[in-house]
Amino acid sequence: MEYKYDYLLNIFPELNEYIGKDEDILSLNNITIKEIKDIRDNAINYLTQDEWRTLSEDERNQLALDRYMQRPKSKWAIGMLYEMYVGHVLRQQHTSVVQFGIKQGLNDLGRDIIATTYDHGLKKVYIIQCKNWSSAKLIHENVVCQIFGSAMEYDIKYNQHKSFTVIPALYVTTELSETAKIFAKRLGVEVTVMPLKDFPVIKCNINHGNKIYHLPFDQQYWNTEISNEGEFFATTVKEATSKGFRRAFRHFI
């Protein structure tokens, strides 16, 4: 329930305004959440009224993005950003990187990322789970067993002719327990400890010829995939607009 709660607040950030305000919640009977989403630019959640009025569109979007990245986030949002960061790192080494967890949500079977690479002509498919946990916590053997089982299911289902090698892997921000380390070694689960760092988060997408960039608080951000020619992740709004991309939104309040 906590996961679902964080998820709802992430895709409908305007709901934060109604927490603990029963009368305001009742007033929503006359308007649908879809109508609220259709008329609201979520960048306004991170700006003052003066900033909204005086800054240019690009300046507003960049400042809103900067504040979004700096402010505390839900566990769900932090986990999603860590998956994206791991994907960003892997794209520098692998032929194909699919953000399977972001795409499938609760139906990801513990597979946050599926990455493919070739080693001397041999195809390798990595089934990856990401855990962005506090350094005060340890990764236990149940996590190791889950990704091992998920990798084996993938191997049985898609690799019947044994034409490639399936490798279970964990990318985590904290250490494994001693028992988990033993399990990982015995089961062949590769473990990489890697803290979350800054990375390009602006999704520059081409849809039916339209060049659109998405910020993390935009409506279709998490549903948007970057995989086609000409698409990329930008670090700044200026980088995105300089290459002909415009912001994805509908209307303003």
239 sits in which H/E element: helix 237-242
Q: What is the number of other CB atoms lying within 10 angstroms of the CB of residue 64?
A: 24
Residue type, 81: L
Closest among 117, 126, 202, 138 to 166, alpha carbons compared: 126
Q: Over pLDDT 70: what percentage of the chain?
A: 85
Convert the pLDDT of each residue in 111-153 to its tens digit: 999 999 998 899 999 999 999 999 899 999 999 999 999 999 9
Q: Mean pLDDT for the chain?
A: 87
In this structure, the strands spanning 96-98 and 202-207 are: unpaired
- Tokens representing 203 are 């999704």
- Contact yes or no for 129/146 (Cβ under 8 A): yes
Residue identified by tokens 């990704």 is 147
Residue identified by tokens 């062949």 is 188
Closest among 205, 215, 206 to 47, alpha carbons compared: 215
Instruction: Please name every residue paired with 128 in a beta bridge, in sequence order, or none if there are none.
Output: 113, 169
In this structure, the strands spanning 96-98 and 113-119 are: antiparallel
| For range 52-58, the mean pLDDT | 95
3-state secondary structure of 243: coil
pTM: predicted TM-score of the whole model, two decimal places = 0.78
Dump the DSSP string for 20-40. Answer: T-HHHHHHGGGS-HHHHHHH-
